[in-house]
């Protein structure tokens, strides 16, 4: 990647935002108000992120004084600088191949895969008016929220900005609340069956030992 | 009650949804890898963007056998609607 100034690329802001939002839309198909709220929160995060990544580097402007005094040799307007963990930890080499970036890409792709595989199970279950309990739903009760959170976490690992760092805990809190609300509705609808499912299946964090045993 | 539904995630890759997923992931990989140098690829980023709604409709029309996709789902009123077996 070149170190030339890399901002003001508004068409890239638009393309990237649309690609990620259309993908998420295609694999979540928001229908209820709750669906739209969780989807909207994700979309807001994506737009904020790409606006800073290619449009206007607000974080760098706000931190420029501090960064300039601490890292005097830094080219503040280069694209690589805003791979901020790389900069802050004074890591060597290309930031696109550091541990943050690799973990980040794994997390983003994992999140999208989770969204898509959960959607497939959920869609069939909804069509059949059943409870979704297979695929990713066998490991966690809320794989789609997990998917959204993984994708956002992935972006924070490669491209942290003040705004997205602030948004992240708020959005996670919101997802947890929406998940609880969804559980109450599922309990009212499926009763005993859901109660048993909820007893044996964790909400967000899979039991890793069980997941590994299952996959064998 | 005991019939296992075909919702094995491995089956995802053999379905149309799987094709749509992989196509989307390839597009995303392109944008994540090129970052701001995407402009060096001329018209390609735009073509990839325009592929997205196409994939979306491909997915919507066939991916989930969506005969009742437009209907609002109201489980409470019609719990035994579908004759097909599910796991629970």
Q: Whole-angstrom Cα distance, residue B60 to residue A28?
A: 11
Residue boundaries of the structural domains of chain B: 7-36
Query: How many structural domains is chain A composed of?
Result: 1
- Chain B residue numbers touching A19 (CB-CB < 8 A): 27-28, 31, 48-49, 52
Residue A168: pLDDT over 90 = yes
Pairs of CB atoms within 8 A across A/B: 132
Average pLDDT, chain B: 63
Q: Which domain holds residue A177?
A: 10-215
Nearest CB partner across the interface for A133, out of B28, B60, B87? B87
Q: Whole-angstrom Cα distance, residue B43 to residue B40?
A: 9
Q: Whole-angstrom Cα distance, residue A35 to residue A39?
A: 6
Q: Whole-angstrom Cα distance, residue A90 to residue A97?
A: 14
Residue A7: pLDDT over 80 = yes
Task: Pick the most confident of A82-86, A171-175, B12-16, B45-49.
Answer: A171-175
- Would you call A12 an interface residue with chain B, using a CB distance cutoff of 8 Å? yes
> Are B35 and A53 an interchain contact pair (Cβ–Cβ within 8 Å)?
yes
Residue A26 in any domain: the answer is yes
Min mean pLDDT across A117-121, A183-187, B10-14, B54-58 is at B10-14
Residue A4 in any domain: the answer is no
Residue A5 in any domain: the answer is no
**Given pLDDT bands bounded at 50, 70 and 90, which one contains residue A155?**
very high
| Contact in structure between A145 and A4 (CB atoms under 8 Å) | no
pTM here is 0.82
Q: Whole-angstrom Cα distance, residue B76 to residue A138?
A: 23
- Nearest CA to A204 among A180, A171, A169, A170? A180
For the stretch A176-203, pLDDT in tens is 999 999 999 999 999 999 999 999 999 9
Q: Which ipTM score applies to this complex?
A: 0.80
CATH number for the domain harbouring residue A161: 1.20.120
- Nearest CA to A83 among A70, A101, A99, A68? A101
């Amino acid at each position: 990647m070149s170190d030339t100034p890399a901002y003001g690329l508004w068409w890239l802001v638009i393309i990237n935002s649309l690609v990620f939002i259309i993908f998420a839309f295609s694999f979540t198909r928001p229908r209820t108000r709750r669906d739209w709220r969780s989807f909207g929160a994700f979309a807001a995060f994506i737009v904020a992120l790409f606006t800073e990544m290619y449009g206007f580097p607000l974080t760098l402007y706000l931190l420029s004084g501090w960064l300039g005094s601490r890292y005097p040799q830094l080219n503040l307007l280069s694209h690589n600088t805003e791979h901020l963990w790389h900069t802050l930890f004074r890591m060597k080499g290309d930031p696109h191949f550091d541990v943050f970036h690799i973990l980040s890409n794994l997390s983003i792709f994992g999140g999208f895969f989770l969204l898509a595989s959960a959607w497939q199970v959920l869609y069939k279950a909804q069509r059949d008016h059943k409870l979704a309990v297979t695929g990713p739903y066998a490991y966690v009760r809320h794989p789609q929220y997990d998917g959204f959170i993984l994708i956002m976490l992935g972006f924070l690992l490669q491209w942290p900005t003040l705004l997205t760092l602030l948004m992240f805990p708020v959005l996670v809190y919101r997802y947890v609340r929406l998940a609880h609300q969804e559980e109450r509705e599922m309990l009212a609808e499926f009763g005993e069956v859901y109660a048993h499912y909820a007893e044996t299946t964790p909400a967000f964090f899979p039991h890793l030992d069980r997941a590994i045993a299952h996959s064998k | 009650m005991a019939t296992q539904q075909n919702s094995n995630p491995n089956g995802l890759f053999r379905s149309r949804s799987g094709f749509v997923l992989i196509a989307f992931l390839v597009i995303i990989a392109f944008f994540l890898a090129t970052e701001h140098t995407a402009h060096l690829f001329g018209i390609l980023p735009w073509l990839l963007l325009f592929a997205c709604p196409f994939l979306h409709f491909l997915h919507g029309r066939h991916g989930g056998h969506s005969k009742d996709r437009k209907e609002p789902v109201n489980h409470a009123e019609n719990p035994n609607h579908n004759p097909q077996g599910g796991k629970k």
